[in-house]
Amino acid sequence: MTASLGVVTPELIPFETPLVLERGGSLPRYDLMVETYGTLNAKKSNAVLVCHALSGDHHAAGYHKSESNKPGWWNHYIGPGKCIDTDRFFVVSLNNLGGCSGSTGPLSIDPETGKAYGPSFPEVTVLDWVNAQARLADHLGIEKFAAIVGGSLGGMQALQWSITYPERVGTAAIIAAAPRLTAQNIAFNEVARQAIMRDPNFFDGNYADHDVIPASGVGLARMVGHITYLSDVSMGEKFGRSLPRADRDAEGVNFAVEQYLRYQGEQFSGRFDANTYILMTRALDYFDPTLNESIPLPQVLSTTACKFLVLSFTTDWRFSPSRSEEIVDALIQAGKPVSYTRLESAHGHDAFLIPDATYERIFKAFMDRVHQDLGGNA
């Protein structure tokens, strides 16, 4: 029997030691907004790090008091008796640097100017996030994670952890991810960024000085992104060519799918910062542990020391199964232990977020083995 975590409370953790960034510059200090679930055992060996994707944050499971009807983004998979069982594991989830949900980012005050960073916030990369996460682990007294888990951009962080801190990762679950973006994926991100930057209210990223937000541009960016997260099958099943309600005709909406995309864009633009969106998509574009193929991926992965689970979804065309299989093939060539499943799903890239019986069974079996490796019972 599974249960909800109930109400959870995030914690803002300050770090006063400067963080040197991969693409230049540094942050003299920073804060990370963190949620934890479950109990860290006496050996501090049962910790699981959950890494979020592009628009995710620290709120992965449970509920906040102010939003009792809105669970965390991976609530189906984290909690008592669930895949990531909080009766067994101590789960750590954070909002990455550059985010807009409490961690230091463009909305934060620059200590040197006394004003919000805005567009002057330094570029961050997946490696920077992983380094900040390692400092968080140090703060929590966690020397090694039993598992590091993530989907999409979160899976890239799990992969980076296995490369950068091999001795600190017991297992890594890389779900619906890729070893680096294709030109097409970078192009989608650039279209989204241009939608934001061409909004008249963007003001070169200084929109806060004008007391406005580039809502139209952020909404359009979300609409473009959302199309790539769904599959043709799921969009057909959900909307087909059906018409919207009669009372929406006045807004020039001709089909239900248009109504849905506009709603998604409007909701997103009210909660997600434009400068953060640009930063996050750039970090996604920059991710490439092969350094533009100057080092073969099997060689890059040769120093990893953990067991891997890699999962992909058949209708995911943003990060197609072939991209996950690049990781799997490289791990096999490097002689590393890896389990791989290509899951049947109609939900496209979003499938890693959606409840599915087969996905859940495989994911839970993997986490059961992690628990057994810690000396627990099946």
- Is beta strand 84-85 parallel, antiparallel or unpaired with respect to 78-79? parallel
**Who's near 160: CB < 8 A, 6+ residues apart?**
126, 127, 129, 130, 287, 289
Whether residue 308 contacts residue 175, with contact meaning beta carbons closer than 8 Å, is answered with no
Return d(Cα 228, Cα 232) in angstroms, integer.
10
**Residue that has been written with the tokens 């092969």 in this structure:** 290
State yes or no: is 316 an active-site residue. Answer: yes
Return d(Cα 320, Cα 19) in angstroms, integer.
34
**Who's near 130: CB < 8 A, 6+ residues apart?**
157, 160, 161, 164, 165
Exposed, middle or buried: residue 232 (CB in 10 Å: 0-12, 13-18, 19+)?
A: exposed
Output b/e per residue, 47-76; b: 16+ Cβ within 10 A: bbbbbbbbbbbbbbbbbeeeeeeebbbbbb
How far are the Cα atoms of 148, 234, 250, 349, 364 from residue 81, in angstroms, in the given order? 18, 29, 48, 26, 10
Length of the chain: 378
| Active-site residue (options: 316, 320, 324, 356) | 316
Whether residue 31 contacts residue 13, with contact meaning beta carbons closer than 8 Å, is answered with yes
Whether residue 338 contacts residue 58, with contact meaning beta carbons closer than 8 Å, is answered with no
| Active-site residue (options: 55, 152, 162, 324) | 152
Whether residue 145 contacts residue 48, with contact meaning beta carbons closer than 8 Å, is answered with yes
Q: What is the DSSP letter of 125?
A: -
Q: Where are the beta strands (DSSP E) in the chain?
A: 11-15, 19-20, 26-27, 30-37, 47-51, 78-79, 84-85, 90-94, 147-151, 171-175, 307-313, 338-343
| Active-site residue (options: 101, 349, 350, 356) | 349
Q: Which residues are catalytic?
A: 152, 316, 349
